Amino acid sequence: MRTLESLKLYSKKVGRIRGETVKERIQFIISRCENVEEACRLARQERRDLTNYRLEYSNKHKLIREQLSRMQFSGGTDLDIYIDNLKQEFLTTDVAAHVDTLGYLIVELSKANRSWWADE
């Protein structure tokens, strides 16, 4: 069974989230999601990776990117609630690509929000 302790695996793989403010750091994450989507699209287009995993990984990044773009978080409680919702999905999903996407993005968003009170 997956637990939130599993997020430590992703935490070790996530680098620095660039940006001075929470908004800038979230924009960096949105850009990273776009890059992942593009890399997955190219891998499928070039027939290097036609797996369902790659498709689901791309689709989940796209969904979360669109949500982040629409919600325009500036940090704080709203972002904490969003992260908590992602954690619940992380614990309950059976789709491996979603687990990985959520794991990385939960850690990244948590890092982006770590000092939200200093940005206000």
pLDDT tens figures, 48-93: 999 999 999 999 999 999 999 998 777 778 999 999 999 999 999 9
Residue 11 falls within a domain, yes or no?
no
Mean pLDDT of 93-110: 97
- Burial (CB count within 10 angstroms: exposed 0-12, middle 13-18, buried 19+), residue 40: buried
Residue 2 falls within a domain, yes or no?
no
Higher per-residue confidence, 77 vs 46 = 46
d(CA 18, CA 91): 27
- pLDDT for the residue numbered 25: 93
List all residues 6 or more positions away from 94 whose beta carbon is below 8 Å from its beta carbon: none
- pLDDT for the residue numbered 48: 97
Residue 60 falls within a domain, yes or no?
yes
d(CA 89, CA 103): 10
- Angle between helix axes 52-71 and 96-112 (nearest 10 degrees) is 30
- pLDDT for the residue numbered 82: 95
Q: Band of the pLDDT at 117, cuts 50, 70, 90?
A: very low
Number of compact structural domains in the chain:
1
Domain that holds residue 91: 21-113
d(CA 9, CA 90): 13
Q: By percentage, how much of the chain surpasses pLDDT 90?
A: 80
- Does the pLDDT at position 119 exceed 50? no
- pLDDT for the residue numbered 76: 76
Residue 8 falls within a domain, yes or no?
no
Residue 6 falls within a domain, yes or no?
no
Residue 53 falls within a domain, yes or no?
yes
